[in-house]
Amino acid sequence: MNKKEIHPRTASKSESLDQRSEALLAKMTLAEKIGQMSQIAGTGGITAGLRKAVQQGKVGSILNEIDTDTLNELQRIAIEESRLGIPIIIGRDVIHGFQTVMPIPLGQAASWNPGLIEKSARVAAIEGASVGIHWTFAPMIDITRDPRWGRIAESLGEDPHLTSVLGAAMVKGFQGEDLANHDSLAACAKHFAGYGYSEAGKDYAYVNIAENELRNVVLPPFKAAADAGVATFMTAFSDVNGIPATGNEFLTRKVLREEWKYKGFVVSDWDSVIQLTTHGFAESEKEAAFEAVAAGVDMEMASQTYLYNIEALVREGRIDESLIDECVGNILRVKYALGLFEQPYTDESQFPEKGNDDHLAVARLAALESIVLLKNDYNVLPLNADHQHNIAIIGPLADDGHEQMGTWTFDGVEAWCQTPLKAIRDMLPGHVNIHVARGLDTTRSKHRKGFAEALEAAAKSETVILFMGEEAILSGEAHCRADIDLPGVQNELLAEIAKLGKTTILVVMAGRPLTLDLTRQHVNAILYAWHPGTMGGPAIADVLFGKSNPSGKLPVTFPKHVGQIPIYYNQRMSGKPATAQSFTYIDDIPKRAPQTSTGNTSFHMDAGYEPLYPFGFGLSYTRFYYGEVRLSDHEFRVGEGIEVYIDLTNIGEVHGAEVAQLYIRDRFGSITRPVRELKGFQKVWLHPGETRTLTFQLHSDDLAFYNRQMNLVTEPGGFDLWVGGDSNASKHAHFKINQ
């Protein structure tokens, strides 16, 4: 292959994608069609078996091969040595960066900044495409309310509206202005659907979810991704109400194809077709292939039940070949949209250098805006570097580039990672003594042999900064936890250091919300940095020492105790809702108290009814004042809308950003409605003393929900509305919708 043969992809516009796909389909044998429906894992090279399979048209896609020369050669074989010359689509889990790693998606969601999330995905796409990848298995837009689930790290949180907005931004970032551009990746909305509701927060577990909940909470982000033009969907591993998602005709055919008119293609998750037999849903691999194709799964990932069974199923008349044509047509349209037929090859020299200054700048900003300030007693933060003489840096995550990248970072370059310790050293003036102690071998350590060194470092210092949390391996797929306190003996080390009476600041790096009720009692301030990626260190240092003001807000509720799970802000109203005056804690119950002494409302006697930190929460180094809510009208009709106005003022002393959040409640409905629902947000930067009038558009369509008949309706009636800095927003107004 000569260099001159390699140039950016540019798809022909002379024919429609449908026309081109149909014309090619007409030339294909059944065996070649089945080949397009088969995705195989890369082998780290080109074996004789792989070469033969590509030559015979038995490979539609390859995943997890990232050597550019190997990929170009595989494409050459497909183009020049197979009968029809159909290119291969190359897939890879480019989840939150390729070699330049952004914060984990849950961390990115804490930025509440769609534009920044789009830029982060664009960097990932450019770097991934530069080696020959065409397709990423992201964004993961599963709604979850269980932080025990390891894959919450990949999610965008608990809220349908926030996830919809941010997920669509990721799609746009990955796919760029045109899929045919050489630096675009086809995105994949996953996991369709309900995976985040797995019982007990265990991966791959059963999902029991009512259709109404499915339609009103779980499916909206997927609909938003489809509307944003996402190229592909992926089915979930989980069993949804007795029918595994990979064999779930209701999800894939009825909702995705019939109701949403989706025209991209659907891929199974890894081995999830063959796992239909493990579920007990299919008796054999042949039956698994039948169920998946019947349900509308166009491409099988990793396992090969399609390759070995579909031809027989067609021959037996159980599957009509027209159904196979639909599947293959969906796949071919995406390949044509990607411009692979015009240019299947990749030339890395046509791309910017990976890890360049622009990419690192985006990674740094993403890490910065993801940091959430949870506690700041007596305004101990930000630290004044000029007033520091001795600082202790303690903890296993202070200087570990690998761990700060987080889960799903197969290609991240650890050598590029700038750690907090390095960044703090670079930032502090020469007169400051930095006393470093690891304290623990790992975040999971259960021994105390590093305590003495840590206490010695703390004793020498006026300020102690601790970097604790979870290693990367403790979250992600199949990395679920039943206990989500700080693992190991981290709390014990914090308690010992607290006895010294120093100013103590905790920086948490983790892949999920942790239960910090005990932890927060030992420290003066808490920064939640998630797993912040390549540039996490400089971002954290900037916040610690006041070069930047934290602006992150929680995209998920933080429980006090694991026993409160699931706990989320947009719950349904109980018939006996708890209030601050309506219950008694377990320690306050009198001996032989009457049964009604605790209040008989909905709460836990040992935890109350409130979370540790609510959805949308995040502190700042400045203060913001919300004026009164004003509405353009207090009554409007279905099909119309109103504008919501509120004045936001920075009444503090430093420049900062606030995420103003708009919530509503439908007071009465044909089904019960959540106590609050996020319907809009704006991230606003204000100088000290600056006031800005914010305007939110609220249309009756924004208030629609699926009713008892599973019809999407906006019901007339009264609504409450709040605007503020978290889901406990107090600035209130009322409006009414008429028929």
Phi and psi at residue 104, in whole multiples of 5°?
-55, 155
Which of the 8 DSSP states describes residue 527? E
Instruction: Residue 567: name the closest of 510, 508, 515 by CA.
Output: 515
d(CA 490, CA 256): 46
d(CA 117, CA 164): 13
* Active-site annotation holder among 93, 183, 239, 269: 269
CA–CA–CA angle 481, 486, 489 (5° rounding): 115
Which residues lie closer than 8 Å to 372 by C-beta, 6 or more apart? Answer: 110, 527, 528, 550, 552, 553, 554, 617, 618, 619
d(CA 378, CA 185): 47
Instruction: Residue 659: name the closest of 370, 362, 367, 365 by CA.
Output: 370
d(CA 74, CA 50): 9
Reduced to 3 states, what is the DSSP secondary structure of residue 158? coil
Q: Are 527 and 550 in contact (CB under 8 A)?
A: yes
Is 587 one of the catalytic residues? Answer: no
Q: Which amino acid is at 476?
A: G
Ramachandran quadrant class, 131 (left: phi over 0; alpha: psi -120 to 50; beta: rest):
alpha
> Cα(first)–Cα(last) distance of the chain, in Å?
66
DSSP track, 443-498: TT----TTHHHHHHHHHT-SEEEEEEE--GGGSSTT---S--SSPTTHHHHHHHHH
d(CA 578, CA 607): 12
Which of the 8 DSSP states describes residue 352? P
d(CA 531, CA 104): 6
Instruction: Residue 664: name the closest of 641, 685, 691 by CA.
Output: 641
Bridging pattern class, strands 624-626 and 731-738? unpaired
Tokens 């081109």 correspond to what residue? Answer: 20
Q: Are 369 and 113 in contact (CB under 8 A)?
A: yes
For 189-245, give the secondary structure using H, E and C.
Answer: EEEECCHHHCHHHCCCCCECCCHHHHHHHHCHHHHHHHHCCCCEEEECCCEECCEEH
Dihedral sign (CA 261, 36, 349, 362): positive
Which of the 8 DSSP states describes residue 562? G
Distance set, CA 639 to CA 313, 407, 633, 669, 722 (Å): 49, 44, 14, 18, 22
Helix runs in 230-320, H state only: 249, 275-278, 285-295, 305-315
d(CA 692, CA 684): 9
Instruction: Residue 391: name the closest of 460, 444, 486 by CA.
Output: 460
Which of the 8 DSSP states describes residue 186? B
Catalytic residues: 269
